[in-house]
Amino acid sequence: MKVNIPESDQKRVVIIGGGFAGINLARKLAKSNYQVVLVDKNNYHQFQPLFYQVAMAGLEPSSIAFPLRKIFQKHKNIYIRITKVLEADLPNKCLKTTLGIMNFDYLVIAVGADTNFFGNENMAKYCIPMKSVGEALYLRNAIFNDYEIALSTDNFEERQGFIDVVIVGGGPTGVEVAGALAEMRQYILPKDYPELDNKEVDIYLVQSGNRLLKGMSTEAADKALIYLEKLGVKIILNNRVTNVDENFAYLKDGTTIRSRKVIWAAGITGNIIKGLPEDCIVRGNRLKVNEFNQVECYDNVFAIGDIAYMEEEAAFPKGHPQVAQVAIQQGKHLADNLKKMSKGKPLKPFKYNDLGAMATIGRHLAVVDLPRFKTQGSFAWLVWLFVHLFSLIGMRNKVIVFINWVWNYFTYDQSLRLIIKVKERNGKKV
């Protein structure tokens, strides 16, 4: 059975993935001579940099998600299909999906990456990742549900398991989660849970290297360490979590930390689709592409964003960083090249323009590395707010997030701490 898509004289570009890469590619092809089919298992785009604020009850999921159909509702050459891709049949130019067979003239793989547990089954079972809105909500539920249980737990050691948190990975996500948890402990717990002694709550940030924020400057790393320690976060460097179970995290040096919540922010791996040639898959489950984002040995199959591995000899000999800016720039660049291709013009090689990196630690606390200057503290925090606010899709989302941030700034409080449980009905989760 074929997926029902109108036949057209236009060449069909099928884009798998509605993340930063896929969305920016589709947007730039919206008024082109191509028929564009955007495929995703979800019917919305997720703004990943703010997942942690959903998990910490700072924002609602609807504030950082935007319906795919609403983005493209005015463009007649864009078709949305919500389905899961099961396999790619590249020789026959088609995809096998849960809806049926989908043909393509050009295929763009923009499926992004998922959490990498490095083959440890216990970590995959017990650690809490944060690569989707659903996982962020799961973490939010776990935090507040355990606080509720802790209120009725008399035994000190057992109570620590419910209220202490271990964060694995000292990159931007780990640093931001640690800062948000520390502020929650300082401002929210005394209001919502006065029966709990917030001084009992321990937040551990475990980093295998000798510094935080590996991809950022030394100044940013040093300041982030200072800010987190002032907030009371326990930083553990040059160590790593080797195993976990339902109640404990086990470190390489033999240390054991009692916690039912181990948040995993220590690595990602590409979402490889069945049927792709194995000799094109390289380190990190990424697809090796040339300077035009073409998957090796194919002139009609492209990969962009986190899943793409492209070497730039001087600047990025080990591939580009798996960050939003790379995905956005590759999506826009590929759209320009596809337009050139339709006109028989030569393609332009991709060159990544590094716009910098940033991370927020808490109120008035952030670190920002930009190409021409570096800054930390209050000004960096304002820069972080501005960049993330205007990167959101949709005016409604921008306004709601802005209002939430302003309200939280003046009140030190948010009324979003809901435990939303999933129920089953007729064997299905609802």
pLDDT along the chain (430 residues), means of 10: 90 97 97 95 95 91 94 94 96 96 98 93 94 92 95 94 97 95 92 93 96 94 97 97 96 96 94 93 95 94 97 88 95 97 95 94 93 94 94 91 86 76 58
DSSP assignments along 57-117, one per residue: TSS-GGGSEEEHHHHTTT-TTEEEEE--EEEEETTTTEEEETTEEEE-SEEEE---EEE--
Both 100 and 127 in a single domain? no
Sequence-ordered list of residues with C-beta below 8 angstroms from that of 82, at least 6 positions apart, any chain: 39, 40, 41, 42, 43
pLDDT at position 428, please? 54
Torsion of CA 266, 417, 403, 393, to 10 degrees: 50
| Residues 209 and 111 grouped into a single domain | no
- What pLDDT does 404 receive? 87
CB 19 within 8 A of CB 322: no
Q: How many domains does the chain have?
A: 2
* Beta-sheet strands, E only, within 268-420: 268-270, 281-282, 286-288, 301-303, 308-309, 357-362, 365-369, 374-376
Among the candidates 310, 342, 374, a domain finishes at 342
End-to-end CA distance of the chain, in Å?
29
Instruction: Give the sign of the dihedral formed by CA 240, CA 243, CA 245, CA 251.
Output: negative
- Domain endpoint, select from 342, 369, 403: 342
Task: Report pLDDT for 324.
Answer: 94
Domain identity same for 186 and 215 = yes
Q: Which amino acid is at 94?
A: C
**Same domain (yes/no): 274, 258:** no
CA distance 263 to 228: 17
Decide if 291 is catalytic. Answer: no
203 shares a domain with 145: yes
Residue 8: C-alpha distances to residues 27, 35, 52 (Å): 20, 7, 42
105 and 147 co-located in one domain: no
97: left (phi over 0), alpha (psi -120 to 50) or beta: beta
Domain match, 154 and 166 both: yes
Q: Are residues 137 and 256 in the same domain?
A: yes
User: Are residue 127 and residue 210 in the same domain, yes or no?
Assistant: yes
Quote the pLDDT of residue 427. 56
Q: Is residue 373 part of a domain?
A: no
Q: How far is the CA of 77 from the CAs of 85, 343, 370, in angstroms?
A: 21, 18, 37
Catalytic residue among 7, 135, 176, 278: 176
Q: Are 115 and 122 in contact (CB under 8 A)?
A: no
58 is written with which tokens?
């700072």
- Residue 394 located in a structural domain: no
Taking the whole predicted model, whether its pTM rises above 0.85 is answered as: yes
For 286, counting Cβ atoms within 10 Å of its Cβ (0-12 exposed, 13-18 middle, 19+ buried), the class is buried
Does residue 333 share a domain with residue 276? yes
What does 171-236 look like in DSSP terms, one character per residue? SHHHHHHHHHHHHIIIIIHHHH-TTS-GGG--EEEE-SSSSS-TTS-HHHHHHHHHHHHHTT-EEE
CB burial of residue 214 (10 Å; 0-12, 13-18, 19+): middle
Same domain for 230 and 338: no
Domain boundary among 235, 265, 295: 265
What is the Rg, in whole angstroms, of the alpha carbon atoms belonging to the chain? 23
Q: How many Å apart are CA 405 and CA 428, to the nearest integer?
A: 36
Domain that holds residue 305: 12-115+269-342
φ, ψ of residue 350 in degrees (nearest 5): -85, 135
Looking at residue 33, its pLDDT comes to 93
Cα 78–chain centre separation: 25
Q: Residue 200 is part of a domain; what is its CATH number?
A: 3.50.50.100
User: Which pLDDT value is given to residue 430?
Assistant: 45
Closest residue by Cα to residue 44 from 27, 60, 61, 25: 61
**Spatial distance between the Cα atoms of 231 and 273, rounded to a whole number of angstroms:** 42
| Nearest CA among 132, 150, 151 for reference residue 65 | 132
127 and 257 in a common domain: yes
Question: Tokens 């564009």 correspond to what residue?
Answer: 36
Grouping H, G, I as helix, E, B as strand and the rest as coil, residue 375 is strand
Looking at residue 343, its pLDDT comes to 93
